[in-house]
Each structure stands twice: as C-alpha cells, then as structure tokens.
Amino acid sequence: MIEVWAPRAHRVRVRLDPGGRAEDHELEPSGADGWWRSDITLTDGDRYGFVLDDGEQVRPDPRSRRQPDGVHSPSAAFDAATFIWSDEAWTGRQLAGGAIYELHVGTFTPEGTLDALSTRLDHLVDLGITHVELLPVNAFNGRWNWGYDGVLWFAVHEQYGGPSAYQRFVDAAHARGLAVIQDVVYNHLGPSGNYLPEFGPYLREGHSNSWGDEVNLDEAAVREYIIDNALMWLRDFHVDGLRLDAVHALKDTQPVHILEELAERVDALSAQQNRPLSLIAESDLNDPTLILPREAGGYGLTAQWSDDWHHAMHVALTGETSGYYADFAAPEAVAKTTQHGFFHDGTYSSFRGRAHGHPLPTAVPTWRLVTYLQNHDQIGNRAAGDRLGASLSADRLAVAAVLGITAPGTPMLFMGEEWGASTPWQFFTSHPEPELAKATAEGRIAEFEKMGWDRSLVPDPQDPATFERSRLDWAELEQGEHARLLALHRELLALRRDRPELTDPDATKIEAALVHDDGPPRARAFRIDRGRLSVLVNLTGDPVGFDVRAGDEVLLATGPIEREAERLTLPPDSAAIAGPRQAVAERMPRTSSA
C-alpha cells in the first residue's frame, strides 16, 4: 500500500518510474484525517514520487527511506526487512557507566562513508568507548553538511551509503560490543528541499526559532511523524539510542509534552525488544524535568547534555571569559558544576540577562548528565573551528583528558580528541543554490562580527577546502604528543572502567574544592574526591601540594610527582589520580553485551 498525509491537497497522484515510462495512479482520500491511500505495492528500489493537485512537479515522499538522486528528486522504495542481521545475541548497553564518542560520518574517514567508518570501529573499542554517536545522517541537500539541514528525516544521506550501509554499520558496531546513538533533529527543517508544507501544516507559520519555522507540534499527525521516525531508527535499524537536538526549541502547548510522549513509546519498544533504548536531550534550559522519572513529574528521558560543565572546564583550561563563558570565571565554577551538575540553577546569567536554570536534585544519578570538553558545537561554532589543541599545550591537553574522563557524568569525546587532532572542525555546507550559498556565507560572517571576532578568521562554509580541512588525519595517531595523549585516554578509560568510584552515580559522594588560586581563571588548582579516589589538578604556573590519605598511591599522573609522606606536589599544568591500589579480585569485571 502507498499512503501519504497531505491534508492541503485536493488531489494526489503517485508517479511511478518518473525517470522512465512514467505512470500516474490516483490516491483516494481516507476519511477526514488528511491521509491518501492506494493499493499499489512498491518493491525494493522502485522509483516514485507524489504529484499534488493538478500540478506536474514530482515531490519526494515525506517518509522516503531513500533518495538516490538527492532531496529534490523522486524517492526509492527501501525494504529494511531484507537485511540479514547478525546481532541476534545483542542485548544492548546501558548508558550508565558508559563512554560516548561523537563523530561526523563525512569527516571521520578519508572516504566519508558508513562502510569506511565500520573499518575504524576497532579503534574505538581499543580506546574503551561503549557508545558511538553519529551526527545527523538524514537526507540533506548537497554533498556535505553537518547534517542539521536535513529535510527528509526517514532517509539516510546517499553519499554516506544510504540505508543499506547504515544497517551494515550498526551490525558491525554491535559485533564489537558498541552501542549506536543517532543524533536526530526534530526542531526545524533545512532551507533547501523542504516540500513538507506543500503536503500539510508541518510547520507553524509565523513562528520561528534560530533555524527557521517551528515544527507544528499542535498537529497530531506531525507529532506522530516525529515519533514514527524515532521508532524507525530504534526498530528497523537496531539503533540503541537517540540524541535529540536542541529540545528547548520544541514549543509544545499540548497537555502531554512531545518528549514525554516519545519517552513513553520508546520505553514500550525497549520492553518489547528486551534491550535498553536511550533518549539523550540537548537542552540549554538547565531543567531537570527532562530526566526526572514520569512518576515524579518529569519526562523520563535517559540523560541530557551539560553545557555548564563544559563551560566551567573550558574557562579553567583556556581562560576565555567572553560571551557565555563570563560567569564561569567564578572561582567556585569547577567545584559547583562537578558536585551539582548545573552552575546556573536559578542564579543570574549575565549572558542571558536574567536568572536561569533550576537545581538538579541530588537523587538524580550523575551519569544522567553527558559531559564533554569538546563537541561539534563547541568547536564548530567558533570562528575558525579550532579545537582545544590549537591554544593549549600538550601538558594542558593531558590535564583536560583527566578532567574529562573522570567527570561524574557520562563522558563524551569528539572525534580525534583522544589524540589531540590538529585538524580543525569548521562549519561547512554545499548548497547548490547560489543565493542560499551566498546567504549562508554572509550570515556566518555577520554572526561572528556581532561577537567581536575578526571576519578574516571565518572560513567560507561553501568552500570545499573548509570541508577538506575538517577531515581527521589518521596519520597523527602514532606521532609524538599525539601518541602520548592517545595512550593516556586509553589508560584513563580503563581506570574508569575498573574503579567503581569513577562511575558511582551518587552525587553526594563527590567533594570538589579550589586548592589554590593565582587570580586568572586558567591559573587555579583543584581537587575532586570520588569516594576513595582523589583527582588532583594543578593549572597554575608553580608546583602545588595536595594532601592525600595514608596509604594512597599515585594511580596515574601526567607529569613527575614529588611525594613527602602524605603530601603530593604536582608540577605546573599536570594532574594525578591518587587512591588505594585495588586488588585484582576487587575490580569490576568487564562485561560484553554482544
């Protein structure tokens, strides 16, 4: 059966084989709900599109599973059930105790495809990663893009390999014990190839967010469109979780918020499939409602990103205090975000000009906050797309690694971070339309000029060189400081896996304090106690002493440590982890979910 929701149309035809001997077939309205249906059956690979009213333009299926010739062309039928999976034994992975790795398919490998990505999965396993998170892969206009300009949410971008390659990738990930998280965007549609408004009221006209017209969550069919898409990834592609982009931009006035409705449906699917399915929200609201249980008045999502933790650590490492970083220069910022998750929990935000956020209850497990030192936004939305390594020494990058992996939340690395990749990750697009290309480039420059950045630092997002510069250089892994940093990340992730103190979800067991302050926010020393383990950090220009418990040993250090009785002295720009040596029999066993 062919069906499409098109309440704005008075007539709907499906055009079969639009590139050859085209055949039009009328669809019949089905009641008053806006759906049109036909008994015609499509087989895998059949090309088709819809013609609305009495026009002649062929539009892709709003629920298209494949777009072989791009988002402006007809769709192709795709039968997900034909793939033979080998992950029957896969029981999934809980997010708790995990470590996420965020990557962009197009720039992770030289080939920029899902099949090429599959050949690099052993690197992630050796590193100690448990969850691999892909930036959006749904169909967008052009050859390369971050993915947030998608317009056909059910289709996998053809240049990545399409839906069949996606199935192969997930199967390969599960074979290696890796869970897959897919980044999805439900708060807006891209600027090119969005034909949904011709079919129905998918968007709230006259109401916009930072990226375009709001998605119309007042319409029941649009809500179901979103939920059906989410369930497709989890059910048909065996994905283990979704990262929900910018949920603060989902304006919902209905009695049950779309996020709560989505969480209920995903939980039901999880029970049916007998494996954990995670929903991770990106939100700048500092609102625990997202992750509180539904019986406690929350939405019941699994976790949410923590920008506050990132901002506090970024300021401590770099000393940057402009824009939204200003408040995080406070001496208590690192300790507060480490112990309490949010810095702005009802406090005044100078960037917003108002009080912001709500306290995070101590009963919320610490792993429900995803914490990171770098991600696609925090790098790519800098004028030059520069990583931390562009401004920090190798020693400071090592300290950053200690802070990131020992964080109370669920740590997330951005691709290449583990070896201090020298390649930037810049904002890139490939819009074929000259007007849109020009507007994108000019808008990017104007945005950074408002923030006081030198416009000469802003690369042209349409220049192919901007995309090429953003590809990882895998030859760096075995070179000098890159190799040292990679080895440190492996050691840290192994320690985190073996020492239960580092994944203890109880926030009340965390103590964090400022030990020494030289004045500037990047010249401070901290200690963070996680049960019997102490994370010691010296970001000052002089040696700093830390008291430790009797019998504690140095389990890991990024620089030479001096010891005198129960006092450790760390050199500038160094970190150490101290605690009792754990007997092998006491270590948490490594378990495989595959």
**519 and 458 part of one domain:** no
- Does the annotation list 378 as a binding residue? yes
Is 222 within the bounds of a domain? yes
- Does the annotation list 377 as a binding residue? yes
Query: What does the pLDDT read at residue 221?
Result: 97
- Does the annotation list 356 as a binding residue? no
Rounded (10°) angle between helices 307-318 and 394-405: 150
The tens-digit pLDDT sequence of the chain (594 residues) is 899 999 999 999 999 987 778 899 999 998 789 999 999 999 999 999 999 999 999 999 999 999 999 999 999 999 999 999 999 999 999 999 999 999 999 999 999 999 999 999 999 999 999 999 999 999 999 999 999 999 999 999 999 999 999 999 999 999 999 999 999 999 999 999 999 999 999 999 877 676 778 999 999 999 999 999 999 999 999 999 999 999 999 999 999 999 999 999 999 999 999 999 999 999 999 999 999 999 999 999 999 999 999 999 999 999 999 999 999 999 999 999 999 999 999 999 999 999 999 999 999 999 999 999 999 999 999 989 999 999 999 999 999 999 999 999 999 999 999 999 999 999 999 999 888 888 888 777 777 766 666 677 889 999 999 999 999 999 999 999 999 999 999 999 999 999 999 999 999 999 999 999 999 999 999 999 999 999 999 999 999 999 999 999 999 999 999 999 999 999 999 999 999 997 544 444 443 333
Q: Looking at 183, 219, 240, 245, which residue is catalytic?
A: 245
Is 34 within the bounds of a domain? yes
**444 and 302 part of one domain:** yes
Q: Is there a catalytic annotation at residue 447?
A: no
pLDDT digits (tens, 9 = 90+) for 159-196: 999 999 999 999 999 999 999 999 999 999 999 999 99
Q: Is there a catalytic annotation at residue 282?
A: yes
Is 70 within the bounds of a domain? no
**209 and 357 part of one domain:** yes
Three-state SS at 529: strand
Query: What does the pLDDT read at residue 589?
Result: 42
Q: Give the number of domains in the chain.
A: 3
- Does the annotation list 340 as a binding residue? no
**127 and 197 part of one domain:** yes
Query: What does the pLDDT read at residue 211?
Result: 75
**508 and 464 part of one domain:** no
- Does the annotation list 307 as a binding residue? yes
Domain coverage including residue 47? 2-59
| In contact, 149 and 71? CB cutoff 8 Å | no
**157 and 115 part of one domain:** yes
**25 and 122 part of one domain:** no
For residue 348, the domain's CATH number is 3.20.20.80
10 burial (CB, 10 Å; 0-12 / 13-18 / 19+) is exposed
Query: 533-538 and 562-564: which strand pairing?
Result: unpaired
For residue 542, the domain's CATH number is 2.60.40.1180
- Does the annotation list 309 as a binding residue? yes
**427 and 391 part of one domain:** yes
Q: Looking at 102, 171, 219, 282, which residue is catalytic?
A: 282
Containing H/E element for 309?
helix 307-318
> What span, in angstroms and rounded, lies between the C-alpha atoms of 103 and 283?
19
Please enumerate, as own/partner, the contacts of 256-264 that have beta carbons within 8 Å and a separation of 24 or more.
Answer: 257/299, 258/186, 258/217, 258/223, 258/226, 258/227, 259/290, 259/299, 259/301, 260/294, 260/299, 260/300, 261/223, 261/227, 262/226, 262/227, 262/230, 263/294, 263/299, 263/300, 263/301, 264/294, 264/300
pLDDT digits (tens, 9 = 90+) for 370-381: 999 999 999 999
Is 67 within the bounds of a domain? no
- Does the annotation list 257 as a binding residue? no
Is 592 within the bounds of a domain? no
Task: Calculate the alpha carbon distances from 155 to 66, 71, 202, 276 in Å.
Answer: 5, 9, 17, 24
Domain stops at, among 459, 493, 527: 493
**367 and 411 part of one domain:** yes
**529 and 483 part of one domain:** no
For residue 42, the domain's CATH number is 2.60.40.10
**438 and 524 part of one domain:** no
